[in-house]
Amino acid sequence: MNKWFRMLSVMTMFIVSASACVPQQSRTVKLYEDPSRTPKTYQKLLIVDVSSDRSMQIQFENEVVSGMVRAGVEAVPSHHNLDASQGILQDDINRLSDDLGTDGILITHIASIDTQVDLKEGREDVLSVCRGGSPVDYFLYDRKILAEPDSIKVAHTVIVVTNLYDTTTRERVWSIQSTCFNKESIAEVLLEETDAIVRQLRIDKLI
């Protein structure tokens, strides 16, 4: 019995250790869904990221477009025609949607970015190699300084709010808030946020 108890304890410790290594998954909260809307799956979406940073708009829109294509949905980024950093109006977005023939407009907005920086200072070690002779003779050793540089670990936690509008009615039909945790780069953030958006759209049978 003691043997089985020890085995069970080891297995429990292993499971707890493995669980601690699993990165925290993104979290999605539905903010709104039009209860009166007619069920509809969208075939072609205009993707708009509302950002004061032009490069961020381009990067996020391209990532979302790629995510939609992987899900089998046609999608078009707005940045070829609209510069969100200069300010855009809903009328401009609607006009572009009409010109492109999209049946829905997906608008994303990064609501919050929390960045934590952990700086680990470098250190120096001395490596000594004896050239021969008596090992107690200090001058018979070659010495080399091994320098370990500073390291910086960055963790981004980002909240994105996403709204879906119907092109025909011009009404908002769906909104979510998605949060990803402790990502080392903005590229990782945008990929995980895109996956969360596409996943929820599919769950809600909107694409």
What local confidence, expressed as pLDDT, does residue 132 receive?
54
C-alpha closest to that of 187 among 156, 151, 152, 153: 156
Residue 199's CB is within 10 A of a number of other CB atoms, namely 15
Give the full edge-to-edge strand order of the sheet including 151-166.
27-33, 172-183, 151-166, 104-120, 44-49, 74-77
Instruction: Tell me the CATH architecture of domain 37-118+160-203.
Output: 3-Layer(aba) Sandwich (3.40)
How high is the pLDDT of residue 37?
A: 87
Enumerate residue ranges in the chain where pLDDT < 50.
4-5, 8-12, 14-21, 134-139
Are 195 and 66 in contact by the 8 Å Cβ rule? The answer is no
Residue 122 is predicted with a pLDDT of: 55
pLDDT of 146 reads 58
- CA–CA separation, 16 and 11 (whole Å): 9
The model carries a pTM of 0.74
**pLDDT at site 14:** 43
Res 147: pLDDT: 59
Q: What is the pLDDT of residue 121?
A: 62
Question: 102: helix, coil or strand?
Answer: coil
Domain ranges of the chain: 37-118+160-203, 120-148
Question: For 40-52, what is each residue's pLDDT tens digit?
Answer: 999 999 999 999 9
**Rg for the chain, CA atoms, rounded:** 27
